[in-house]
Amino acid sequence: MTSSYVPDEEDLKNFAVATLVFGVSFAAFFQDFDPRGLALYTALSGVVLLTREFGFRTCAQWMDAYVDNNLSSSGAMTSILGAFLSIITQLPIILLFPLWNEAESEKYEQWGKSTDSVWMKRKYWLYSCGIIALLAGSTIARGFELTTLARMYAITSFFFLLPFDYEGLPGEELDGAFILRWSGFAWLIFMGLTLVFHALTF
């Protein structure tokens, strides 16, 4: 089986575009939109998204699952719109919706029907691992007094935890939707920790 850690060309392209969108959004949010600031926040966004990918793909590797990175056009446009509003209003506005993940595993035949082996609880663990990685990243960043990076981790965790799975909303189904379906208590814990970690970065 191909390692879950090995992305294909499409995964890399989508990750690169999402990193750029996150970089623009964070640069506008922190009101540091000169070329140097844009480069810095794009690099830090890459670190944040890579941390989440590592957590998600580590769990997928344990479960023998395949991972795909996907880019939402509507989510990316919404994120860019948020950055534009932040620039023209000089307010800390940020919207992060471009990247989402899918996990698949071998399908098995049972009673003549094909069944995907990545069922709901396994998806819950997959997406939870991505959030745990973001929260761990925020904790480590604060430990090294990298306050801006710690805040970026917390903000990213907040947006991925939004339980969006409705048509007409920007982006695709986010991590929070999968987590909330299986365990509302776990979702509350994750969201509570995310808000606490964000408050600690002020």
- Contact 98/172 with Cβ under 8 angstroms? no
Q: Which residues neighbour 130 within 8 Å (Cβ) at sequence distance 6 or greater?
A: 52, 53, 55, 56, 59, 101, 160, 175
Quote the number of domains for the chain. Answer: 1
Classify residue 164: in a domain, yes or no: yes
Give the predicted TM-score (pTM) of the model.
0.90
Residue 3 lies in a domain: no
114 in a domain, yes or no? no
pLDDT band at 153 (very low <50, low <70, confident <90, very high): very high
Domain containing 152 equals 9-102+119-200
- Cα–Cα separations (whole angstroms), residue 140 to 26, 51, 200: 20, 12, 13
Tell which residue, 72, 83, 74, 187, has the closest CA to residue 128. 187
Q: pLDDT band at 63, cuts 50/70/90?
A: confident
Between CA 95 and CA 111 the distance in angstroms is: 45
Residue 77 has pLDDT above 60, yes or no: yes
Q: Is residue 137 part of a domain?
A: yes
